[in-house]
Structure formats: C-alpha cells, structure tokens
C-alpha cells in the first residue's frame, strides 16, 4: 500500500524535530541536480531581493527568537 502526501506528512510530523530535519534534507537531496540548481538560484534571488528591500528601508528586521516565538504561538512551527 502506498501512502499519499497527506498521510506521509501526518506520519512525518510525528517525528522529533531532528528527525524531521534529517528527512527534509534527504528529500531535498533527492531532487535532480538541475532542479536543485534552479531552486538554489531562486532562493539566492529572493535573498538578494529581501536584502535590497531592507537596505532601502522598505522592510524591517526582527530578532529570530521573536519570529520563532510568534510562529510557535500560532502553531506554525
């Protein structure tokens, strides 16, 4: 019996944080190299866009602990 994406996600979320991180890394590494390069290029472009917005004072920065706590409170992490 094969599992669908929702079933896999449900089971994966039962893992502790370190196991989920390792699983996510394995999944990312399983993506073909060409796709990986496109993904890395897209993230680099996004990082540069965010940096430029910050430098132009179009956005602000917040301490990572504050952001993580806010997400934890919302149940998103």
Asked whether residue 22 falls in the same domain as residue 37, the answer is no
**Within 10 Å of residue 72's Cβ, how many Cβ atoms?**
10
pTM to 2 decimal places? 0.49
* Same domain, yes or no: 14 and 38: no
pLDDT tens, residue by residue, 32-63: 777 888 888 999 999 999 999 999 999 999 99
One domain for residues 20 and 47? no
Convert the pLDDT of each residue in 5-28 to its tens digit. 899 999 999 999 999 999 998 888
Domain of residue 38 covers 33-77
| CA–CA distance, 42 with 48 (Å, rounded to integer) | 10
Calculate the alpha carbon distances from 7 to 12, 27, 30, 62, 65 in Å.
9, 16, 20, 35, 31
**Are 55 and 21 in a shared domain?**
no
Domain total in the chain:
2
**Mapping DSSP to helix (H, G, I), strand (E, B) and coil, where does residue 7 land?**
helix
């Amino acid at each position: 019996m094969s599992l669908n994406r929702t079933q896999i996600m449900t089971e994966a979320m039962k893992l502790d944080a370190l196991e989920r991180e390792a699983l996510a890394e394995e999944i990312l590494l399983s993506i073909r190299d060409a796709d990986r390069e496109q993904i890395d290029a897209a993230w680099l472009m996004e990082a540069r866009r965010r940096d430029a917005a910050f430098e132009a004072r179009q956005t602000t920065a917040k301490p990572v602990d504050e952001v993580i706590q806010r997400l934890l409170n919302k149940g998103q992490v």
